[in-house]
Chains A and B, each alone.
Chain A
Amino acid sequence: MMQRLFLTSTAVFWLAVLGFWIGSLSAPIAQPPAAPSVADRSISTAELAQHATPQSCWMAINGAVYDITGYLPDHPSRPQIIEVWCGKEASDAYATKTRGRPHSHEADQLLPKYRIGRFAP
């Protein structure tokens, strides 16, 4: 029975991997959405600091401010790691993940979706 479970699960796994790959080929790579009209709004350090909770989480990264409240549940690390940066300038944390490793290419692609303005400290 264990042998059958091994063979079945292995076959299903590779079929699923194949499915994900084919799915990615058929769908175009998501382009960063056009910046919303408010994208050039200036956001000060004081206003940024007012959004320092998981319920309203803004971060300043490389001169832009992002509202990532909706993304928090999907972030790969445990919430405590990212939530401490809510309401703060987080460029260094984004660049190093606090462990000397940069975020992935897909994270860079995803970020513009959440842009809400320019950071004006």
Chain B
Amino acid sequence: MAPRRLPGLLRRLSIPLLTLAVPLGFAWWAFPSELAPLRAAGIVAGWLGGGLLMVSLLLMLREPRLADWLGGLERMYRWHHTTGVLAYVLLLIHPLALAANGLATSPSFAWQTLSAFDGGWPVWTGWLGLVVLMVGLATAFSKKLSYGVWRWLHAGLAIGVLLGLIHLVLLGIDEPVLPIIAVVALIVGWRALRGDLGLAARPYIVAEVQPLTEQSVEIALRPLGQPLNVTPGQFLLVAFYRGPNYRGCGEFHPFTVSSVEHGDVLRIAVKALGDCTRQMLTMPRGVAARIIGGFDSVFAHHRAAPQLWVAGGIGITPFIGLLRAGPVPAPTTLLYLYRHEADAAFLDELKACAAADRRLTLQLEATGDALPDLKRLLPQAGQLIGVECYLCGPPGLIKGARSVLRRRGVTARQLHSEKYEFR
């Protein structure tokens, strides 16, 4: 049975409301009365930052039902980043405002308020927490780190949160800090146990691996127990473990479902983008896998209106999933962008689909190493009236295509995209 969905407006407002309610609730709860304005501002900034950090932690959970309530996992991750950085900025303001309050007494008193060297452990833990957040966020923005290293460094941000909580305890403030610590421990533990160690995942086994291109394969996964209730186009978090002459990296990575056979065998398309996914190109049958999902689909609000599908590289997967499920419901143009024909997954199958379905128009574009000329490739404004646009591919392509389509009169409600970016 499909989980009950929240109404659309509530889903859209869920994260913004949470982002406002938790920090403002903290600030209201701990609002300092009768203090000097700068001191009060410093304390409020600290509590607002702490509240936003809690929201950011909550948004890193990988629970399909929670993701559905909050408008999708990709949206949760976007807000996780935003709330995390905003929390960091407020936590930077916190000690500066407290120190600025000391300027009324003297500059040296202001420095003594700020300096960890004069403040003992309550101040030291605050400073250490802030520095850990600083270093952790700096690495979080790094594109050069491998995913495995990046993941561990990003998880290290939890140490910053822990130090911040110890800072609160050592300060001896009279707000009850223990419930906050309990909630943080629950969220971090929940994510670690269910999301990273895979307690929320279902066991599957690799039934078949078919090469698509030199750098991509399609993997069929058979359930070893109760199958997941997923549809083509949704994405899953899949981790591969041991098998005959194979040892997977055991990390959960996002993959899109290309088809569901007999209601239980799932197929996912995998492109080698890093060490872990490159290893999957040579995966044999019989490898153990665990799957969490299904999460968002670019087709979550699919309507039977004329459509434009834009796929970049492995972003073709949700579209092939839909085409395998049957003929397109309305006139549809599929613009498929890839570097070279040899890199294009599912090319022959797509050509066969277009030949069999006269409502499907296939527009193939080998871009080589140059950026695609989207202004030339995308339909003109007159051809986009009433057209629903679905975009899947690398972030740069999505950003460029959205920009061109919006300038040509496509409304935000007509645009549906999936970016494949989970860092």
Identify the A interface with B (CB < 8 A): 2-3, 5-6, 9-10, 12-13, 16-17, 20-21, 23-24, 26-30, 54, 72-81, 97, 99, 101, 104-106, 109-110
User: Contact: A104 with B120, CB < 8 Å?
Assistant: yes
User: Contact: A99 with B111, CB < 8 Å?
Assistant: no
Q: Given that A2-B82, A79-B35, A106-B118 are known contacts, is A9 also in contact with B110, CB under 8 Å in the complex?
A: no
Judge if B373 is at the interface, Cβ distance under 8 Å.
Answer: no
User: Contact: B99 with A30, CB < 8 Å?
Assistant: no
Additional pairs, 10, CB under 8 Å, beyond known A79-B35, A99-B172, A104-B118: A2-B85, A10-B134, A10-B138, A23-B103, A23-B111, A29-B106, A30-B106, A54-B34, A97-B172, A104-B112
* Distance, CA A92 to CA B4, complexed state (A): 60
User: Contact: B137 with A106, CB < 8 Å?
Assistant: no
Residues from chain A with Cβ under 8 Å of B39 in the complex: 73-74, 76
Chain A interface mostly helix, strand, loop or mixed? helix
Nearest CB in chain A: distance from B62 CB, A:
21
Return the chain B residue nearest A77 by Cβ.
B173
Identify the B interface with A (CB < 8 A): 32-36, 39, 81-82, 85-86, 88-89, 92, 96, 99, 101, 103-115, 118-120, 134, 137-138, 141, 172-174
Nearest CB in chain A: distance from B111 CB, A:
3
Question: Which 8 pairs from chain A and chain B are nearest by CB?
Answer: A24-B111, A23-B107, A27-B107, A30-B106, A13-B92, A24-B108, A106-B112, A2-B85
Return the chain B residue nearest A99 by Cβ.
B172
User: Contact: A9 with B174, CB < 8 Å?
Assistant: no
Residue in B32, B107, B141 whose Cβ sees the most chain A Cβ within 10 Å: B107
Nearest CB in chain B: distance from A1 CB, A:
9
Residues from chain B with Cβ under 8 Å of A16 in the complex: 96
Return the chain B residue nearest A3 by Cβ.
B141
Contact sample, A vs B, 23 pairs, CB 8 Å cutoff: A2-B85, A5-B89, A6-B85, A6-B138, A20-B110, A23-B103, A24-B112, A30-B105, A30-B108, A30-B109, A54-B34, A75-B35, A77-B172, A78-B32, A79-B34, A80-B174, A99-B172, A101-B120, A101-B172, A104-B118, A106-B112, A109-B109, A110-B105
* Distance, CA A74 to CA B36, complexed state (A): 6
User: Contact: B107 with A74, CB < 8 Å?
Assistant: no
User: Contact: A6 with B114, CB < 8 Å?
Assistant: no
* Distance, CA A7 to CA B89, complexed state (A): 10
Residues from chain B with Cβ under 8 Å of A104 in the complex: 112, 118-120
User: Contact: B92 with A20, CB < 8 Å?
Assistant: no
* Distance, CA A106 to CA B274, complexed state (A): 54
Nearest CB in chain B: distance from A7 CB, A:
8
Residues from chain A with Cβ under 8 Å of B82 in the complex: 2
User: Contact: B92 with A23, CB < 8 Å?
Assistant: no
* Distance, CA A26 to CA B107, complexed state (A): 8
User: Contact: B92 with A24, CB < 8 Å?
Assistant: no
Nearest CB in chain A: distance from B30 CB, A:
8
User: Contact: B172 with A13, CB < 8 Å?
Assistant: no
User: Contact: A6 with B141, CB < 8 Å?
Assistant: yes
User: Contact: A73 with B36, CB < 8 Å?
Assistant: yes
Nearest CB in chain B: distance from A58 CB, A:
17
Return the chain A residue nearest B134 by Cβ.
A10
Residues from chain A with Cβ under 8 Å of B110 in the complex: 20, 23-24
* Distance, CA A109 to CA B113, complexed state (A): 13
* Distance, CA A80 to CA B174, complexed state (A): 9
User: Contact: A5 with B85, CB < 8 Å?
Assistant: yes
